[in-house]
Amino acid sequence: MDAPNTATALWGAVVVSGLYHGANPGMGWPLAVSAALMDRKSRSLWRALGALALGHLLAMAAILFPFGALLFLAEWQREIQIGAATLVITLGVYLLINRRHPRFLARVPPSRLALWSFLAAMAHGAGLMLVPIYLGICETITTDAGHAAAAGLMSGSLGTAVLVAFAHTTAMFTTGAAFAYSVYRWFGLKALSRSWLNLDVVWAISLILVGGIALYSIVA
């Protein structure tokens, strides 16, 4: 597969993972529905969704930016990719074995949705899932002599990290908003309680798959 097709597939993975995160109730959209129903204002729905998106975006940035700031990313990119892919697989296996939700999330007040979203994304490895994809995107970017300097490489990597974080969070917000608005407007929380989408196992397996595909693409 050539570089343009590889880059397109990787950016598609960024968006698809965002759509999946948005659909997953564990990322918080039911909390937005609850806030709107308690306040009886649709404005509360969008305010809560905005806070959830902000927390998710910060979590993505907190994971991706350190990799973008690595001056030796180009020289040690293969080793870093292998380590990141292995870490993602390990987290997926751990979550598959241990399916209990982190207790500390229940202690975060509902009024601090951005903080809750940030901690939930970090605890579930949402940002870590993007690391192998992000490193693959960095690898497809052609560098010329003018970008050979370390500062140029770091600037380009950080810029890519910003784009990845925003693209992923936009997809996450769009899907989460669609689910939240549909439940708030037409179905109500009773329908949600009858058909709760438990995606914990799917989430753990997806981490293993993403890490496995990334690892295979590196060593193959």
- What residue type is 29 in one-letter code? W
pLDDT(118) > 70: yes
Half-sphere exposure of 194 (CA within 13 A, CB side): 6
User: Where are the alpha helices (H) located in the chain, listed in sequence order?
Assistant: 3-23, 29-39, 42-68, 77-97, 113-123, 126-140, 150-182, 188-194, 200-219
Q: How confident is the model at residue 174 (pLDDT cuts 50, 70, 90)?
A: very high
CB 179 within 8 A of CB 29: yes
Pull the structure tokens for residue 144: 């010329």
Contact 109, 42 (CB under 8 A): no
- Higher-pLDDT residue of 188 and 81 is 81
Q: Over pLDDT 90: what percentage of the chain?
A: 20
Residue 147: its pLDDT value, please?
42
| CA terminus-to-terminus distance, the chain | 13
For residues 165 and 56, give the distance between their C-alpha atoms in angstroms, rounded to a whole number.
9
Helix (H, G, I), strand (E, B) or coil at 65: helix
Are 180 and 29 in contact, with CB atoms under 8 Å apart?
A: yes
The band of 145, judged by pLDDT with boundaries at 50, 70 and 90, is very low
pLDDT, average across residues 135-140 = 77
Structure confidence by residue, pLDDT tens digits, 82-101: 888 888 888 888 888 876 66
Q: Would you state the pLDDT for residue 7?
A: 78
| pTM of the predicted protein model | 0.81
Residues constituting the chain:
220
Distances (CA, A) of 78 to 22, 66, 82, 136, 209: 30, 16, 6, 10, 19
Q: What was the pLDDT predicted at 152?
A: 47
Kindly state the DSSP code that residue 98 receives in the 8-state scheme: -
Q: What sign for the dihedral angle of Cα 45, 46, 48, 52?
A: positive
